[in-house]
Chains A and B, each alone.
Chain A
Amino acid sequence: MSAIYILWLREIKRYSRSRAQIVASLGQPLLYLLALGFGLGPVFEKAGQGSYLQFVAPGVIGMSVLFSSIFSGIGLLWDRQFGFLKETLVAPVPRLHIMIGRTLGGATVAMLQGTLVLVVCLLAGFRPAFISTLPLALLFMALISIVFAALGTAIGSGLQNMQGFQLIMNFLVMPMYFLSGALYPLTGLPRALALVTRVDPLTYGIDGLRGAFIGTAHFAAATNAAVLGAFAAVFLALGAYSFSKIQI
């Protein structure tokens, strides 16, 4: 137990000390929010869908949680060869504890990052409909964090080099974001795209966030939470398995 706690704490300490990186990581969500929020705003409104900024803000929050959590996991690739992780692999601690501590740490950091982006969105003019559903929004942020931190761990444990990292970035992370309904509504999509969005775990996370923040969701909150929970269980098991197989 103490090992899980100390490895979790390590991730939090690292995050709180990298101030420059925190500021830098706000750049991308801010760009999406401003360029798309204000750029596509007029078109969106003409289509009778209301304010695009209100619509896209939950998507941008979800994006930053996705990136932050999945990269914490993929960071294993570095950490196991040139980082502290190697030291933990020869310690008399079960691998499962190390994996849990690290993954939970990464997920917590992703949540902090998401909260920070939420603040940025509020400053940019995002007005959530209900303050009372903030706990629900935080729950969905937590679920997204855990799902993708675990997926990142599973991938990071198996990756052998930096080329693989590029591959994951271009063929997994970016598609997951663009096909999640973060940027457009899920209704009235072409059949193929509608199908793809339904197998993307992020879809349910962003839909859940949107439901909590602005009250318009495609699926029921319970459905979203249940699907994310199932993805989390599968990815955690997968992550634990591939982490236990790491050889250096």
Chain B
Amino acid sequence: MIHVEALTKTFGDLRAVDGISFDVAAGEIFAFLGPNGAGKTTTIQMLTTLLTPTSGAIAIDGIDPRRQPHDVRRRFGIVFQDPSLDGELTARENMDLHGVLYHVPRRVRGERVQQLLTLFELWDRRDTQVKKFSGGMKRRLEIARGLLHTPKVLFLDEPTLGLDPQSRNQLWTHVRNLNVSEGVTVFLTTHYMDEAERVAQRIAIIDHGRIVAQGSPTELKAQTGTDSLEAAFLKLTGSTIRDERADAADQMRQMVRMWRK
């Protein structure tokens, strides 16, 4: 479903993504793990037409995002690291807006919105403004929205960041159920190794823009001679802390957090 070959992205001297290759099979849950600044988000941005690769090839369902961006966009749903809901609008209005942007026919839209909101336990709150939702509810709504146009691939960029264990647990249960019921391929990133171990069938670990290992959780543990994914991860990527230089987005993110308290 996703085919990536020798994908590279450079920003000036920095090789953010440095010749990575991997394949994600249809219907698979694939976790993309790595320390801060390893190149995870840059990779997702290239896969989702937001960033043009410096070199290398990408195919999503056989289509090149550079040549046919709109055809690729129709085929995936995405939940960004930062929230992208409109807080002033209600849950249903957010869903409807997405449906219009993705050309989902009106009749299908109504049914599908009801089905997804019910599934994510948000139907009772459909006419509530999203700014009154909890963090977990917002995340669920974003995933429901990402699935509205029945995409073949769902990208989740650190979807559980800042959620309590209950919400995280519930969120992954939903994702796994959908993976089975809709057959949607899931490409996720997370910092919580236990989540990746529980949810993902296959994992790739990226560090300094290169893939250092990939395989099933069991394979990764065997490869490194460790008994948990967390230990395997630390062994592969080292235990030094990555201090990224805060970019403009990080600075704004901090301001947003301050204002929300």
Interface residue count for A (Cβ, 8 Å)?
A: 27
Secondary structure type dominating chain A contacts? helix
Contact (Cβ within 8 A) B249 A81: yes
Interface residue count for B (Cβ, 8 Å)?
A: 36
Contacts A13-B88, A13-B89: A81 and B102 contacting too (C-beta < 8 A)? Answer: no
Interface string of B79-93 (1 = CB under 8 A from A): 010111110110001
Any B CB within 8 A of the CB of A160: yes
Contacts A6-B101, A10-B97, A81-B82: A89 and B248 contacting too (C-beta < 8 A)? Answer: no
Q: Chain B residues near A14 (CB, 8 Å)?
A: 86, 88-89
Any A CB within 8 A of the CB of B132: no
24 contacts between A and B (CB under 8 A): A3-B100, A3-B101, A6-B101, A14-B88, A18-B88, A81-B253, A82-B82, A82-B83, A82-B84, A86-B84, A87-B145, A90-B48, A90-B76, A90-B78, A91-B98, A92-B71, A92-B101, A92-B103, A162-B252, A162-B255, A247-B45, A247-B50, A247-B51, A248-B45
Q: Chain A residues near B251 (CB, 8 Å)?
A: 161-162
Contact (Cβ within 8 A) A17 B88: yes
Contact count A vs B, C-beta below 8 Å:
80
Any B CB within 8 A of the CB of A216: no
Any A CB within 8 A of the CB of B74: yes
Q: Which residue of A lies closest to B70 (CB)?
A: A92
Binding site for B on A (CB under 8 A): 2-3, 6, 10, 13-14, 17-18, 78, 81-93, 160-162, 247-248
Question: Smallest CB–CB gap between A5 and chain B, Å?
Answer: 8
Any A CB within 8 A of the CB of B129: yes
> Which residue of the partner chain, among A3, A6, A87, contacts B84 with CB atoms under 8 Å?
A87
